[in-house]
Amino acid sequence: MSSLADNGKPARGILFIVAAPSGAGKSSLVNACLDRDPNIRLSISFTSRKARPGERHAHHYHFVSAEQFEQMVAAGDFFEHALVHGDWKGTARQSVEPQLAAGHDVLLEIDWQGARQVREKVPEAIGVFILPPSREALEQRMRTRGQDSEEVIQQRLAAAREEMSHYNEFDYVVINEDFDRSVDEMCAVFSASRRRTGIQQLRHPKLIETLLAE
């Protein structure tokens, strides 16, 4: 369902960016918010890493080889891309622009490097960064997942501090200590973003003109 301006044409959608260190619960929060908010469409990223147990192609990620990914980079197919933990991740252009133009809000579940690239292209994008309640909780969540080797876990823990240092590049920060409360907070960000003055001016110009007429 797309948003219509009061002239009957689709109002351009809002681009949301959600980033977090590995193990902060980003995917679980995003999925819960998507279930609650049907107006947001998730952009499925491409990645060169192997699928983890339970992950499905074109549902969690588009899984491609590193060679295929690099060919797509050379062809200019990506809206953003970055090398994350030794693997490529990126958002295809066709996953974003057509959706926004059709009036759909789009959510990018990406890392801070990709988020920085997106803000250069779309400065009005709304960024949300998810933090864990403690480093201990972050490590526990990584281990509970049971999907990574000890070596990989140590690599991700070492990278987490650097990733979290970029929290202040985002518009909102959600501390994922209580899951249900964090879902409420993220959904509140999405809802409030649609009520910003600039967005309402674009979506309801005729109403505002009528209300302010002499």
**DSSP annotation string for 86-138:** TEEEEEEGGGTHHHHHTT-EEEEE--HHHHHHHHHH-TT-EEEEEE-S-HHHH
Q: Express each pLDDT in 133-192 by its tens digit.
A: 998 998 888 887 766 788 888 888 888 989 999 999 999 999 999 999 999 999 999 999
Please give the model's pTM, rounded to 2 decimal places. Answer: 0.85
| Structural domains present in the chain | 15-43+104-209 (3.40.50.300)
